[in-house]
Structure 1
Amino acid sequence: MKKLLLGAFVIAAGFFSTANAQIQEGNWMVGSSIISSNFGLNTGGGYQIGLEPKAAYFIKDNVALGGMVNLNFLKTGKGEATQFKYGVGALGRYYISPGEAGVDNLLNHGRWFFEGNAGIGGTSIENGNSTTGFVYGIGPGYSYFITPNIGVEGLVKYNGEAGFGNTPYNSNITFNVGFSIYLPTSHAKRIANEVK
């Protein structure tokens, strides 16, 4: 009975502890935003369905650098043209420590973060203008850890597109929902060796 109670206590302590081990130097984050709402600033808003795969390496505690790909379909309203957004670029994340800047983490089960990205991308509009150019985004997010290594994420992001084509500049604010998997370097190396 003592072993059962001790085991339950250890599991509970691990479950309710602050998320630290996932975002330490040397770990990897792999994930994707899956769906998002688009609040158009100089264009119509709507819902997007797509993938934004991202991978980043923690160069030091709370700081991750990596890359991302953007593949989204956007429909701004009934009867409106369908848009396809694409892009590839660099990604950076900074996770806020508990108590930093007066921010406490929700239920000590996750972390607030800021994400920024920059790269090349564009928009292709059905029967309309298309553009390719410099794309960037920045915004706050929250990763809620449902297990020690898996986080469900919400991210509000300002996105800009400085086009070289028919549309000189386009911007919007999106609310993205997705997930991330946090892997210690030793675990990531083992997975890579199994794939070979």
Structure 2
Amino acid sequence: MSQTYKGNWLVGGTGNLHLGTKNKGTLLMLSPRFGVFAANNLAFGAILPLSLYSYSGSTTSSFGLSPFVRGYFGSMPTQFFVEGRFGYQRYNYNSDTGDFNDYANTFTYGIGIGVTRFVTEQVGLELLVTYDESGNNDAILNTSNLTGINFNAGFQIYLPSAK
């Protein structure tokens, strides 16, 4: 049975670690993902993006919700996919001294291409390259700095439908 058939589920996620050289910041992003195949090779679902950015003693964290659509093509054990998503994120900023806190809400969207290599019947390792836009003109939380190309690695578990 194909992992990307109608009615099957996918559960997993991707991660991204960015070590800044200019501002010496560290950014950790995790994106758990849940979806269902509405048709063969076509999945819809939600991503719950989480991030933690630490720099100069200050911290910015975020959480959000991003619906996605993903289309698969190719044959097993390696399948390629394209993905599109649009969502909402909330950013919280805390200064290193604790005397200043701020928050920002922003909409995000992105498109990407990726590849899944099935290492077992139901588990696929994946690489995903995306272009993401995130905009907010807040002077402190300038999330437009997050616009650009991202490289992600992760895994998905493909669960058969309960028939």
Q: TM-score range by the shorter chain?
A: 0.7 to 0.9
Offset at residue 164 of structure 1 (A): 7.0
Cα distance, 1:109 vs structure 2: 2.1
Where do 1:105-144 residues align within 5 Å?
108-127=76-95, 130-144=103-117
> Alignment partner for residue 35 of structure 1, among 9, 13, 16?
16
Instruction: Report sequence identity in percent.
Output: 30
Report the residue type matching 1:146 in the other structure: V
Give 1:122 deviation, angstroms. Answer: 3.2
Query: Is 1:182 aligned to 2:158, yes or no?
Result: yes
Flag the structure with higher helix content.
1
Larger mean CA deviation between 177-186 and 80-89 belongs to 80-89
Indicate yes or no: 2:75 matched with 1:94: no
Q: Distance in 2 between matches of 1:21 and 1:182?
A: 9
* Equivalent residues in 2 for 1:1-196, closer than 5 Å: 21-37=2-18, 48-75=27-54, 79=56, 81-98=58-75, 108-127=76-95, 130-163=103-136, 165-166=138-139, 167=142, 169-170=144-145, 171-186=147-162
1:10 aligns to what?
A: none
- How far apart, CA to CA, are the structure 1 residues paired with 2:19 and 2:73? 26
Deviations 1:161-193 (A, max 9, x none): 13374447341322111110001111xx7xxxx
The 1-side partners of 2:81 and 2:24 are apart by 25
The answer to whether the 8 Å contact 1:37/1:175 transfers is no
Residues 181/117 of structure 1: CA separation in 2 closer, same or farther (3 Å cut): same
Say if 1:131 and 1:164, in contact at 8 Å, map to a contact too.
Answer: no
RMSD, aligned α-carbons: 2.9
- Is the CA contact (8 Å cut-off) linking 1:150 and 1:179 kept in structure 2? yes
SS at match of 1:23: coil
- Unpaired runs of at least 5, structure 1: 1-19, 99-107, 190-196
Question: Rg: which structure is higher?
Answer: 1
TM-score (norm 1): 0.67
For residues 24 and 10 of structure 2, the distance between their equivalents in structure 1, rounded to whole angstroms, comes to: 30
Pair 1:137–1:44, CA change in 2 (3 A):
farther
**How big is the shift at 1:47?**
5.1
